[in-house]
């Protein structure tokens, strides 16, 4: 269980690195597709913060994807070595993915979007838009992700079970 939690935390770090790289360094409106429409409309294109900021951002996005995919691979390998059955794999991946979704909801949506100056720091034009009123704007998307994560956990458990 401890390994599962550590792997979930690594995935959370990857998700934060992905968000920060896109918002702070790449600064492309494509990284705002999951933000509320009011924020998407308010965000203005801007030049690089410093030379090669976009390149650094894309490199960090690649690192973020590694941090989000590697724990799944490690979880599979460690589970195979430990002789996990389907249900043990399923619970491991479900904890990791639902933990990531809870982190997304509580840290990204509730804290960063609604109660901190994270977005206005990088995009001052959204300062009057962000706030507690935005919490829950994407509840349907979160619900869909949870359903997909349950199916993905089952699929990963089946896949890992082939190697036991």
Angstrom distance (rounded) from CA 36 to CA 54 = 24
Per-residue pLDDT at 14: 97
Residues with Cβ within 8 Å of residue 83, at least 6 apart in sequence:
164
What 3-state class would DSSP assign to 114? coil
Domain region containing 90: 2-161
Average pLDDT of 125-141? 82
DSSP state of 36: -
Average pLDDT of 20-47? 82
Q: Which two tokens stand for residue 146?
A: 């949870």
Q: How many domains does the chain have?
A: 1
Render pLDDT for 13-31 as a digit per residue (tens, 0 to 9): 999 999 999 889 988 777 7
Render pLDDT for 107-121 as a digit per residue (tens, 0 to 9): 988 898 888 888 888
- pTM, whole model, 2 decimals? 0.89
Render pLDDT for 52-107 as a digit per residue (tens, 0 to 9): 999 999 999 999 999 999 999 999 999 999 999 999 999 999 999 999 999 999 99
């Amino acid at each position: 269980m401890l390994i599962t939690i550590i792997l979930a935390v690594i995935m959370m770090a990857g998700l934060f690195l992905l968000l920060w790289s896109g918002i702070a360094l790449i600064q492309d409106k494509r990284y705002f597709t999951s933000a509320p429409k009011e924020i998407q409309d308010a965000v203005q294109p801007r030049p690089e913060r410093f030379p090669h900021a976009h390149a650094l951002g894309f490199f960090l996005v690649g690192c973020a994807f590694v941090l989000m995919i590697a724990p799944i691979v490690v979880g599979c390998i460690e589970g195979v070595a430990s002789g996990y059955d389907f249900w043990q794999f399923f619970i491991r991946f479900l904890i990791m993915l639902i933990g990531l979704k809870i982190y997304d909801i509580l840290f990204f949506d509730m804290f960063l979007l609604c109660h901190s100056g994270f977005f206005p720091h990088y995009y001052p034009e959204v300062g009057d838009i962000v706030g507690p009123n935005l919490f829950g704007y994407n509840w349907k998307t979160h619900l869909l992700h949870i359903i997909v994560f349950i199916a993905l956990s089952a699929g990963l458990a089946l896949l890992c079970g082939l190697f036991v």
